[in-house]
Structure 1
Amino acid sequence: MEFYKLNEVQFILFALTLIRMSALFVAWPVFGEAQLPVPVKILSALAVTFLVFPTITVPRSSIDQLDQTLIMMVVREILIGLLIGYLARFFFFAFAMAGEIISVSMGLASAQIFNPSLGAQSTSTAQFYLTLASLFFLSTNGHHLLLSGLVDSYRILPISDVWFSRQEFYNFAVSGQNILLIGVKLSAPVLISILVVNFVLGIAGKTVPQMNVLVTSFAVNIFVGFAILMVSLPMFLDQMNSVLQITSEALFKFMRAI
């Protein structure tokens, strides 16, 4: 693409394309993290925009109304980029949620470290699951899937002044709800095991009053929790592919619904 030959309308459309791309790179999992230098994000957004811009088509009606609806189109492109990026992040949120629930059930909620992926303090188990999810995401070319979805977004959601309806935001919230439910299901093996252990310890405490159930449960819960984690790890890795598939389906369903 010969950038210096763009006319005024083409330059504005290029800027709108770059805005959506930049918003996506802000919310993009793995590559949108805070530890990645800002110049790298900017150059990456520019490079992808140069590759994508020649392939996109814009409705004639949107071009004719460009002067009147430019601000609305800018806001729309920012929202589309952010929503696509955060929908992709739902894949990681599911595992972060599972890790947090497991840590609380094992009594490790106070052992927290700073998690740059979430921008807040998180437990060691959540950090472990997020690391596994990031490695799985990259090894299965999840970033290629996201780029493909971004390119398709310009075909499914061309640059225009058509605004969102309330239903689209409701669908986004439902997708987040489903991901949270997946996180609870992923943590179910450890949760159920520790529930059974606590039930048994409760009965033992009534049977043997001399036993300090509170102190004993700390060590037993941690031991049982890590044992179940190791046993269920292969199953957990198998579920990652299913969660990635669910996330990609939710992403394309959201784009087609707008």
Structure 2
Amino acid sequence: MLEVQFGLFIFLRITAFMIICPVFGQKGVPNIAKIVMAASLMVITLPMAGTMTPLDNLFLFALVAWKEVLFGLAMGFLSQLVFTGVEIAGQMIDFQVGFSMAQAYDPTFQIMSSQYGKLYYWLTLMLVFITNLHHLLIQGLVDSFRIVPIGAVTLSGTTIEGVIKLFALVFEMALHLSAPLVVSAIIIDLLLGMLSRSIPQINVLMMGMPMKTSISFIMFLLILPNTLEFLTKIIPKSIQYMNEFIKAIP
């Protein structure tokens, strides 16, 4: 009975993490594959996850199960924040360039997604697999059972402060990522405004939209190596923040 309870709690934390995790929580990944992966990680984690006292009370059992689900969701959410940051950067670019009118339904997120946001997201996901960071993500999940035993999840003021700082860093990352294309679009708007003042006969609106679209795409191709280098440096921080969050749990 103890082994069944212990394995169930481990399975709940891992499954909750994989539901929201950016790498394994994709909508395109079959649910059967997620369940099999979670069960496999449970079998691997079971010998190194320590021990627990059997729970005979149904209320305590439900409480511990709910805490494990919440803790798994919290870890997955923290690992997702870097991907949210690149999505925010794409929405900033789309708004300035004019692609916000062309937003389409993205079945991956089940929301209306921006064009550059999807492009940056898939670039980030590609770099995760190229640099083998998904292995570190799994290692951090497995280590969480050693650092935070089953049922021992208590948020402190330090943990909450760290999460708030992480939100600020995500928005800072989004600004850094979107700045080159946003600034170039603003410069084009200024030049077109000056041109419309000088030559009123020119239809600036009809000329501005394709110009901003083409120049933004050219700028994206020019800064692509720098963008990939920036993402390569920033992506490991999501795993670092997740591990720091785990270690900050008393």
Q: Same fold (TM over 0.5)?
A: yes
Residue in structure 1 matching 2:213, options 222, 234, 238? 222
Match of 2:147? 156
* Cα distance change of structure 1 residues 247 and 66 upon mapping to structure 2, 3 Å threshold: farther
Aligned pairs for 1:31-70 (under 5 A) are 31-58=24-51, 63=53, 67=57, 69-70=60-61
**Residue number in structure 2 paired with 1:232:** 223
1:181 to 172, 180, 193: 172
Alignment gaps of 5+ in structure 1: 1-7
In structure 1, what is the equivalent of residue 3 of structure 2? Answer: 10
**Is this contact kept in 2: 1:76–1:163, CA < 8 A?**
no
Partner of 1:251: 242
1:27 maps to which of 14, 20, 41: 20
Do the aligned residues in 1 keep the contact of 2:2 with 2:54 (CA within 8 Å)? no
Instruction: Please report how far the alpha carbon of residue 164 of structure 1 lies from its aligned counterpart in structure 2 after TM superposition.
Output: 2.4
Deviation at 1:223, TM superposition (A): 1.8
Q: Structure 1-normalised TM-score? A: 0.89
TM-score in terms of structure 2 length: 0.91
Partner of 2:79: 88
Asked whether the 8 Å contact 2:196–2:202 carries over to 1, the reply is yes
Q: What percent identity do the matched residue pairs reach?
A: 26
Residues 93 and 133 (structure 1), Cα distance of their counterparts in 2 relative to 1, 3 Å cut = same
Alpha-carbon offset, residue 176 of structure 1: 2.7
Q: Secondary structure at the match of 2:99?
A: coil
- Residues 72 and 161 of structure 1 are in contact (CA less than 8 Å); yes or no, is this contact kept in structure 2? no
Q: Give the aligned partner of residue 105 of structure 1.
A: 96
- Provide the C-alpha distance between the structure 2 equivalents of 1:85 and 1:119, rounded to a whole number of angstroms: 18
Q: Corresponding residue for 2:123?
A: 132
Contact 2:99 2:114 in 1 (8 A): yes
Q: Which moved more, 1:88-97 or 1:182-191?
A: 88-97
Secondary structure in 2 aligned to 1:86? helix
Shift in alpha-carbon separation, 1:64–1:31, aligned structure 2, 3 A = closer
Query: In 2, distance between residues paired with 1:45 and 1:104?
Result: 39
Deviation at 1:254, TM superposition (A): 1.1
Instruction: Give unmatched runs, 5+ long, in structure 2.
Output: none
Q: Which whole-Å CA distance do the structure 1 matches of 2:77 and 2:118 have between them?
A: 19
Aligned residues: 248
RMSD: 1.9
Matched-pair contact (CA < 8 Å) for 1:16–1:74: yes
Q: Does 1:117 align with 2:111?
A: no
- AA of the residue aligned to 1:131: W
The aligned counterpart of 2:204 is: 213
Q: C-alpha distance in 1, partners of 2:70/2:109?
A: 20
User: Which residue matches 1:4?
Assistant: none
Deviation at 1:212, TM superposition (A): 2.4
